[in-house]
Amino acid sequence: MHRYPEYFAHRHAEDELDCVPLLAAGLRRAPARTVAHFDDHAITCEDVARHIAQLQRWFAEHGLVPGDRVAVMLGNSAEHVHLIYALVLSGLVWVPVNTKLRAAGLEYLLQHAEPKLFIIEDEFDELTGQIECGPSRRVRLPAFDANDANAEFSTPRIDVYDPLCVIYTSGTTGAPKGVVFTHRMMRIASEAALRVADVREGDRLFLWEPLCHIGGAQMLLLPFLEAVTLHAVPRFSASQFWPQVERAGVTQLHYLGGVLDILMQLPQDAQPVAHTLRVAWGAGVSASAWEPIQARLKLRLRECYGMTECSSFATMNATGKPGSIGRALPWIDIELLDENGQPVKEGDAGEIVLSSRVEGTFLPTYLKNPDATKSALRNGKLHTGDRARRDADGDLFFIGRQTDSMRVRGENVSAWEIERIFAAHPAIRASAAIGVASAIGEQDILLNVQFKDEPVAWESMHAWARERLAGFQLPRYYRAVESFELTASERIKKHLLPRSVEDAWDRLSSAGS
């Protein structure tokens, strides 16, 4: 493997594909430079450096040392951005917490990750106060003095293979897995984002993704790799999107979770006749929707494929072939294998299996989960559990997941996580969550329910679920079944369940859903 491969030849030869030296040098080199705007507030290198120094003193007051885990449950804000930079430069292991999580999912994450500190904001005080946080101390970020003159940050020695964060993903069955994401992986993810989004000097990148996602976090290094700025907002808003684009002169949009579908459904006069957006990059645009989206939104699509475990990106579509996820990035090799581990024929579907010529591209391990690690990493290759086919030109087309999971509004959702919650409902004997086609985004969730005795009103059941599941985990549809057909090992044969929702209750058709 190459230590510093030619794929990143525009970097300095001594660069070890690291984050800390890159970030520290960038902050010190040009203090007055604006790296990001949060809404209309400019964030300069000087601002970031001062906040990092203040946060490092605060970390020390809490007894934190490099390698300690810090869980963060915050909405998008300038303070959140500063905190992430500070954690990275301090050698602390950031554990991003999805702000949509509710009691069961949140409690699992905290007890599994065992962070020393759990940083929240007021909005989550009641929620987090009702759960068992394990060894974590719940705290809020303090207000810092903007005129603090003693603002020199430090950088402890951090190896490129040290953990930068632990990102929990629900891409397969079973409990969420904590992907140990190293400093090198974050650097590779950021380098790849430059390619995938076709980033050029002077670009302004729209950052709306929750910072608890790798999709948002990987953007934070981009201003230190190229002369670009980030334009961050608290969340995606359909009504505010085009005014935000016009005001900031945004050039790139990352799409996931139905963002493009939402923009396509806006009235024509909500979209300006001319705008600065050049590229939309992401995953999930079908071949049939490709040209209509490009024509209506007046931009170029750059479809990609990836997963947290492979430093976020594995492929990109640079040619514009409708519906394709393109080809492997230069440092990635892709095989499509059958159930016996043999290459499939051209045009046939096979599991996406990745290998890399850059050391450290793949996760070193899942936190406290050797079985999952052994299953995913075999002979130096990453078995993704996803399926694709390759056409005669060598372009790849994503087919779907082999595993029992769904993709809802940009989130991987494990059926196991949903079913384990509904198993606690006193009226339910068994349930099976499956993905069905959605008008917006990738899929909606249909929950098939077998009752013990008398059925429960769907409105009541959904209200019960809403207190226990994250919004993206909530079924849209509910359907009662007499019984489930089971395998010899007593597993529900989900492939036999109908994907039609004609006989299902739709919560969106009910007031108060």
Query: What's the pLDDT score for residue 5?
Result: 55
**What does the DSSP assignment read for 19-68?**
SHHHHHHHHHH-TT-EEEEETTEEEEHHHHHHHHHHHHHHHHHTT--TT-
User: Cα dihedral sign for 421, 374, 365, 134?
Assistant: positive
CA angle (296, 297, 301) in 5-degree steps: 110
Instruction: Answer whether residue 184 is part of any domain.
Output: yes
The Cα–Cα gap between 333 and 5 comes to: 14
Closest CA to 306 of 377, 374, 347, 256: 256
* Claim to verify: residue 90 and residue 225 sit in the same structural domain: no
The residues, any chain, with a CB within 8 Å of residue 60's CB and separated by 6 or more, are none
Query: What's the pLDDT score for residue 489?
Result: 53
The Cα–Cα gap between 215 and 204 comes to: 16
Q: What are the tokens at 63?
A: 């007894």
At which of 337, 370, 403 does a domain end? 403
Instruction: Answer whether residue 165 is part of any domain.
Output: no
* Claim to verify: residue 351 and residue 215 sit in the same structural domain: yes
At which of 360, 379, 403 does a domain end? 403
* Claim to verify: residue 412 and residue 388 sit in the same structural domain: no
- How many Cα atoms within 13 Å fall on the side-chain side of residue 493? 8
Instruction: Answer whether residue 4 is part of any domain.
Output: no
* Claim to verify: residue 151 and residue 294 sit in the same structural domain: no
* Claim to verify: residue 322 and residue 349 sit in the same structural domain: yes
Instruction: Answer whether residue 447 is part of any domain.
Output: yes
Instruction: Answer whether residue 1 is part of any domain.
Output: no
Instruction: Answer whether residue 68 is part of any domain.
Output: yes
The DSSP H or E segment spanning 389 is strand 381-390
Closest CA to 475 of 420, 408, 429: 408
Range of the domain at 136: 17-158
pTM of the model: 0.86
* Claim to verify: residue 362 and residue 423 sit in the same structural domain: no
Region at 506 (left for phi over 0; alpha for psi -120 to 50; beta for the rest): beta
Cβ(495)–Cβ(466) below 8 Å: no
Query: What's the pLDDT score for residue 1?
Result: 42
CATH of the domain at 429: 3.30.300.30
* Claim to verify: residue 316 and residue 433 sit in the same structural domain: no
At which of 388, 403, 418 does a domain end? 403
CATH of the domain at 59: 3.40.50.980
* Claim to verify: residue 288 and residue 430 sit in the same structural domain: no
The Cα–Cα gap between 112 and 409 comes to: 25
* Claim to verify: residue 398 and residue 410 sit in the same structural domain: no
The Cα–Cα gap between 93 and 108 comes to: 18
CATH of the domain at 305: 3.40.50.12780
Domain count for the chain? 3
Query: What's the pLDDT score for residue 8?
Result: 76
The Cα–Cα gap between 416 and 419 comes to: 5
Closest CA to 505 of 453, 444, 454, 443: 444
* Claim to verify: residue 362 and residue 446 sit in the same structural domain: no
CA angle (386, 388, 392) in 5-degree steps: 165
Judging by DSSP bridges, how do beta strands 204-207 and 229-232 pair with one another? parallel
The Cα–Cα gap between 362 and 309 comes to: 6
Instruction: Answer whether residue 82 is part of any domain.
Output: yes
* Claim to verify: residue 250 and residue 302 sit in the same structural domain: yes
pLDDT (tens place) for every residue of the chain, 513 residues total: 444 556 775 566 568 899 999 999 999 999 999 999 998 899 999 999 999 999 999 999 999 999 999 999 999 999 999 999 999 999 999 999 999 898 888 999 999 999 999 999 999 999 999 898 888 999 999 998 877 766 799 999 999 999 999 999 864 556 889 999 999 999 999 999 999 999 999 999 999 999 998 888 999 999 999 999 999 999 999 999 999 999 999 999 999 867 998 999 999 999 999 999 999 999 888 888 899 999 999 999 999 999 999 999 999 999 999 999 999 999 999 999 998 999 999 999 899 999 999 999 999 999 999 999 999 999 999 999 888 999 999 999 988 766 667 888 878 787 877 887 898 899 999 999 999 988 877 899 999 999 999 999 999 999 999 999 999 999 999 999 999 987 655 678 887 899 999 999 999 987 544
Instruction: Answer whether residue 442 is part of any domain.
Output: yes
Q: What are the tokens at 364?
A: 């070193």
The Cα–Cα gap between 283 and 285 comes to: 6
* Claim to verify: residue 377 and residue 444 sit in the same structural domain: no
